[in-house]
């Protein structure tokens, strides 16, 4: 439970900065006797810990650089022990169970309130990561909206950010976005107009009584595109005048060009190229087959290190068989007596998969 901070890994730095932020919020709430206020703070932090930090750190825990692995374990241990100490007043039983698993000889209720060092704070990193995750969320929603599975790779994604965010956002987040969204190329553009046709539609029902005769001028300004979207409001300009309107009073509609689809949220605009080449389709089939085999391995009770014999019957790209075998610890061959078999539908048709645990590493 000793303070950490030596890791240079951005994931470690981010979760420690989030821990510092949570500690400040919870401490302030309890000092004001607002005992229910920390609950949503804890829920959001636990979601961040599990669905971002742990998920993106998985490979660090079981492979790769020994120093990075040690940093991951040390950071996680520190975060969990400090979280248990902060949880203790609100959830004493769960906090004690957590702490006993991490520090077997001690009770969390005999520990002092955590003291999270200020040097762990990193407001810029928190903003960058929040923006990255928002971009990913919009892109994944766009995939779902158009029925494109995440395992189907796409060629290109473009995104635009509001001016107040663009200045501090790092382009080095592109590989993370590409991996999470499963696209080959990620490009940040100067503004939304570079990737989409933008229309602004005022809410006549709400604005009519508010603006009166000015409603016609605002409508003309929107139609001409004389609109500036700011963090908290929308500014419409026309005939030498400006109107500051609420974000919910002017609807922003994006239309993609060619084979691109577009979606926006909170000023973040994302465009995906949905054109699928033969190569992209084949990779999508391979990724889906890998997912099905991994499910079969789990259902058959194999350990993550068990090697298998694999037989695939159907139209699976031959150029991807080595990838499938490597991802599933498999040797491709005929399987006479299978431990498990499954027929799955992929874009190329029905594929039959049969697996059997290998007797030795060379089997």
Report yes or no on 102 lying in a domain: yes
Specify whether 112 is located in the same domain as 137: no
The total number of structural domains in the chain stands at 4
Report yes or no on 206 lying in a domain: yes
For residue 109, pLDDT over 90 is answered with yes
Check residue 148 and report its DSSP letter.
-
Report yes or no on 68 lying in a domain: yes
Report yes or no on 205 lying in a domain: yes
CA neighbor of 307 nearest in space, from 326, 285, 334: 326
User: Of 193, 220, 243, which residue constitutes the final position of a domain?
Assistant: 193
Specify whether 61 is located in the same domain as 84: yes
Specify whether 292 is located in the same domain as 344: yes
Mean pLDDT in residue range 55-76:
88
Which of the four pLDDT bands, split at 50, 70 and 90, describes residue 1? low
Report yes or no on 271 lying in a domain: no
Q: How far is CA 76 from CA 53, 57, 318, in A?
A: 9, 10, 41
Specify whether 129 is located in the same domain as 52: no
Specify whether 113 is located in the same domain as 140: no
| Inter-residue contact 120 to 20 (CB < 8 Å) | yes
Q: Which residues contact 228 (CB under 8 A, 6 or more apart)?
A: 234, 235, 237
Specify whether 177 is located in the same domain as 103: no
| Inter-residue contact 9 to 56 (CB < 8 Å) | no
Q: What angle do CA 320, 314, 350 make, to 5 degrees?
A: 110
For residue 361, the model assigns a pLDDT of: 54
Q: Which range marks the domain in which residue 301 is found? A: 279-357
Q: What is the pTM of this model?
A: 0.82
The CATH number of whichever domain residue 116 belongs to comes to 1.10.730.10
Specify whether 31 is located in the same domain as 87: yes
| Inter-residue contact 234 to 228 (CB < 8 Å) | yes
Max alpha carbon distance in the chain (Å)?
83
Specify whether 137 is located in the same domain as 202: no
Residue-wise pLDDT tens digits, 286-344 = 999 999 999 999 999 998 889 999 999 988 888 898 999 999 999 877 767 888 889 98
Check residue 232 and report its DSSP letter.
S
| Inter-residue contact 335 to 310 (CB < 8 Å) | yes
Specify whether 171 is located in the same domain as 208: no
Report yes or no on 129 lying in a domain: yes
Specify whether 135 is located in the same domain as 223: no
Report yes or no on 132 lying in a domain: yes
Report yes or no on 52 lying in a domain: yes
CA neighbor of 310 nearest in space, from 293, 292, 285: 293
Mean pLDDT in residue range 82-100:
95
Residue-wise pLDDT tens digits, 146-192 = 999 999 999 999 999 987 788 888 888 999 999 999 999 999 998 88
Specify whether 174 is located in the same domain as 233: no
Residue 274, classed as helix, strand or coil, is coil
Specify whether 147 is located in the same domain as 135: yes
């Amino acid at each position: 439970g000793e303070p950490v901070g030596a890791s240079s890994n951005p994931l470690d730095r981010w979760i420690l900065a989030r821990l510092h932020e949570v500690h400040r919020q919870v401490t302030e709430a309890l000092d004001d006797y607002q005992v229910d206020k920390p609950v949503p703070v804890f829920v959001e932090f636990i979601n961040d810990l599990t669905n971002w930090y742990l998920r993106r750190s998985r490979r660090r825990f079981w492979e790769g650089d020994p120093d990075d692995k040690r940093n991951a374990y040390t950071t996680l241990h520190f975060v969990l022990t400090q979280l248990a100490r902060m949880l203790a007043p609100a959830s004493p039983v769960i906090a004690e169970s957590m702490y006993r698993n991490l520090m077997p000889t001690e009770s969390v209720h005999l520990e002092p309130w955590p003291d999270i060092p200020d040097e762990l704070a990193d407001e810029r990193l928190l903003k960058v990561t929040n923006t990255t995750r928002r971009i990913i969320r919009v892109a994944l929603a766009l995939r779902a909206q158009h029925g494109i599975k995440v395992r189907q790779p796409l060629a290109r994604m473009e995104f635009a950010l509001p001016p107040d965010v663009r200045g501090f956002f790092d382009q080095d987040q592109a590989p993370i976005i590409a991996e999470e969204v499963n696209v080959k190329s990620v490009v940040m553009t100067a503004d939304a107009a570079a990737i989409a046709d933008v229309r602004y539609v005022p809410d006549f029902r709400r604005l009519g009584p508010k603006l009166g005769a000015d409603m016609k001028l605002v409508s003309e300004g929107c139609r001409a595109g004389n609109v500036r979207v700011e963090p908290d409001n929308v500014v419409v300009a026309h005939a030498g005048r400006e109107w500051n309107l609420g974000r919910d009073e002017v609807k922003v509609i994006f239309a993609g060009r060619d084979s691109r689809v577009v979606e926006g949220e909170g000023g973040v605009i994302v465009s995906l190229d949905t054109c699928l080449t033969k190569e992209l389709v084949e990779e999508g089939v391979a990724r889906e087959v890998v997912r099905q085999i991994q499910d079969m391995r789990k259902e058959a009770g194999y350990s993550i290190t068990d090697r298998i014999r694999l037989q695939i019957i159907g139209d699976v790209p031959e150029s991807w068989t080595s990838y499938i075998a490597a991802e599933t610890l498999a040797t491709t061959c005929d399987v006479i007596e299978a431990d498990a078999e499954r027929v799955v539908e992929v874009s190329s048709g029905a594929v039959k998969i049969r697996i059997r645990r290998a007797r030795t590493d060379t089997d």
